[in-house]
Copies of this chain bind each other. A is one copy, B any other.
Amino acid sequence: MSGKTNQGHFFEDYHVGLKLNHATPRTVHDGDAAMYQALYGSRFAMQSSWDFASPQSSLRNPVMDDLLVFHTVFGKTVPDVSLNAVANLGYAECRFLSSVESGDTIQAYSEVIGVKENSNGKTGIVWVRTKGFANVDRPVLEYVRWVMVKKRDAASPTPETVVPDLAKVVAPDALSVPAGLDWTRYDYTAAGEPHRLRDYTVGEVIDHVDGVTLTDAEHMMATRLWQNTAKVHFDVTAREGGKRLIYGGHIMSMARALSFNGLANAQLIAAINGGAHANPAFAGDTVRAWSEVLDTTPTNAPGVGAIRLRLVATKGGPAGALRGEDGKYLPDVLLDLDYWALMPV
């Protein structure tokens, strides 16, 4: 049998400083935007309407949804980072650096910045900093992700532990606002809600009301759109229980689209401070979402502020319920995402 097939890397294959040039550059375009629309039903005006976006930005072409960019970059890292991952443990220091427009080609590169073998000797944690670029050299996204990966051989020597020092929150002055963005003449009627940054208060909880029952066909189409090849999303024989595990990013996009109802002016994602896929999701689950306002800040761009939000996707609990008395996520919680969005002031 040929040895040409990629079986994925194991814990021993990673060391701090290892650089990974991820395969398959991907040109994203209007067709992808339409698929994204069909999969999530997003209504944010900046991505929905060229007539809305172009007068208040320096975009030359329709802008891709920020999470579509995130998933595309993430998907490229899967064959090199997480094909043998036991768990996707977290994200930090994720910043969206520049708008991605229809026609841009996305590439991704990662560097290993931490390794730590687990005490069981069978698995370890790997931290990678991933950067996404458009058209070779324009940085569009940067983030740290850490995953638990199997060792190929439990007898392999234990590497020196290196745990990176990661910011809990992307600092307001590190937020990137797309060049030319000007929201001083923002059209709230077209955007769908009157609420602007000053109308939100820290601690406010927003129930996004609507729900979507998931199907296998949709999450597979989504996951393939960003060329994510993790077996568990496609092959019912890859996990016990005979069900396809839904890619966590599908839940992120679904919750973000649901959050339009109450956060219609949180138009663009500027940063992701952290995120946890608290419980697995499967076809048949009905996803709901709520948000909590964590902070607000001005930016230097005209009319543009930023709102820090906790976006929680659930399969049934009441808005605001996140953890049990034991401090653990409630069983109905699917996603806990901490992010900064840009919003007119």
Contacts and interface: CB of A to CB of B under 8 A. Distances in A.
A200 to B, nearest CB: 8
B48 A25 contact: yes
A318 to B, nearest CB: 10
Contacts of A218: 217, 220-221
A135 interface: yes
Nearest to A201: B2
A24 interface: yes
A213 B190 contact: no
Nearest to A217: B217
A160 interface: no
A29 B26 contact: no
Interface residues of A, number: 84
B27 A50 contact: yes
Interface in A1-17: 1-2, 4-7
B41 A223 contact: yes
One complex includes copies of this chain to the number of 3
Contacts of A30: 29-31, 34
A136 to B, nearest CB: 7
A191 B225 contact: no
Contacts of A216: 213, 215, 217
Interface in A28-68: 29-35, 37-45, 48-52, 62
B262 A2 contact: yes
A80 B227 CA distance: 36
A303 to B, nearest CB: 19
Interface stretch (A139-147, A236-244, A330-338): A236-244
Interface in A221-262: 221-225, 227-229, 231, 234-238, 244, 261-262
A264 interface: yes
Contacts of A209: 5-7
Interface centre among A2, A24, A211, A229 (most CB of B within 10 A): A2
Interface string A197-217: 001000011111111110111
Contacts of A5: 206-209, 261-262
A261 to B, nearest CB: 5
Q: List 5 A-B pairs, minimum CB-CB distance, nearest first.
A: A31-B34, A41-B224, A23-B192, A217-B217, A25-B49
Given A23-B190, A39-B224, 19 more contacts: A1-B207, A4-B195, A4-B206, A5-B262, A23-B43, A24-B49, A24-B191, A24-B192, A29-B31, A30-B31, A30-B34, A37-B225, A41-B227, A51-B105, A52-B105, A107-B190, A213-B236, A218-B221, A237-B286
